């Protein structure tokens, strides 16, 4: 009897090995992408393969495998930095921003088109894989899913047609490779691009390589556009303070169902 009691006591003192959490991604029969910690209820309705990614358990409370992104901000611009991330790839550098609490995000099509193996560098300096959900055929826009297992802070979108010339605007992105860089300027007006015929926002905030795909926001932290390009030279003469952004109304038009809280 004593031997049995001793054996039970030893077993109780042994460390328990916990199973690693898993992240499942699949596309249903309607083409909707799902991202969950549980397997799909009806595997027969999956279109394509079921992707499974193991998430390692945190070693301790101080070093979690998925650090929580900051939820407290002292002003709307700081909040916007928490919602913006750097996109790192083999050949390109860009930015993106969250539009929902479950990891959906927006960037420019030219940032991710033709690239593979890109990752999102979040504000807490952690890196996570990116899945490209959709690339717009009409605009320089793309919808991403950042495979982050916790809720993400996200930005609201504003109707860009309510902008007034001279209104202060901010850009956030990996300007010149420096993540979460903030620059400010003003709304100049709407311009119709000669080659594409597309109407874009012109603004004066300085932007550099790495800003593409980042948000153009107002003083309330609401997105009015997605930074897409700038003029660097005109007839061989350097130009500064002439940037362009895809309208937020076009983001809504393309990806309304993914934007959290959008009416």
Which residues are tagged catalytic?
110, 140, 212
How many residues are listed for the chain in this entry? 263
Torsions phi, psi of 48, nearest 5?
95, -170
Q: How many CA atoms lie within 13 A of 232 on its CB side?
A: 4
- Helical (H) or strand (E) element with 178: strand 178-192
Q: How many CA atoms lie within 13 A of 115 on its CB side?
A: 23
182 near 229, Cβ under 8 Å? no
DSSP string, 225-250: EEEEEE--EETTEE--S-EEEEEHHH
- Helical (H) or strand (E) element with 120: strand 119-121
Q: Bridge partners of 143?
A: 106, 134
Torsions phi, psi of 148, nearest 5?
-115, 125
CA dihedral (48, 54, 143, 153) in degrees, to 10, reads 150
Tally of CB atoms within 10 A around 232: 11
């Amino acid at each position: 009897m004593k031997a049995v009691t001793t054996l039970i006591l030893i077993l109780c003192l042994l460390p328990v090995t916990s199973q690693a959490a898993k992240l499942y991604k699949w596309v249903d029969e309607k083409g909707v992408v799902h991202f969950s910690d549980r397997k799909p209820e009806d595997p027969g309705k999956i279109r394509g393969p079921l992707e499974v990614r193991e998430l390692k358990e945190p070693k301790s409370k101080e070093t979690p495998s998925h650090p929580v992104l900051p939820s407290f901000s002292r002003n709307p611009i700081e909040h916007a930095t928490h919602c913006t991330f750097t996109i790192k790839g083999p050949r390109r550098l860009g930015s993106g921003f969250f539009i929902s609490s479950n990891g959906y995000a927006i960037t420019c099509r030219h940032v991710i088109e033709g690239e593979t193996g890109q990752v999102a560098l979040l504000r807490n300096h952690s890196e996570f894989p990116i899945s490209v959900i959709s690339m717009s055929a009409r605009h320089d826009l793309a919808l991403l899913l950042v495979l982050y297992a916790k809720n993400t802070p996200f930005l609201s979108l504003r109707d860009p047609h309510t902008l007034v010339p001279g209104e202060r605007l901010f850009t956030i992105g990996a300007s010149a490779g420096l993540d979460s860089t903030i620059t400010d300027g003003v709304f100049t007006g709407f311009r119709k691009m000669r080659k594409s015929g597309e109407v874009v926002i012109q603004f004066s905030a300085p932007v550099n390589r790495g800003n593409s795909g980042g948000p153009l926001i107002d003083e309330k932290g609401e997105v009015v556009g997605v930074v897409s390009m700038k003029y660097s030279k005109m007839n061989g003469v350097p130009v500064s303070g002439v940037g362009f952004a895809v309208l937020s109304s076009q983001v809504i038009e393309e990806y309304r169902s993914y934007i959290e809280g959008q009416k």
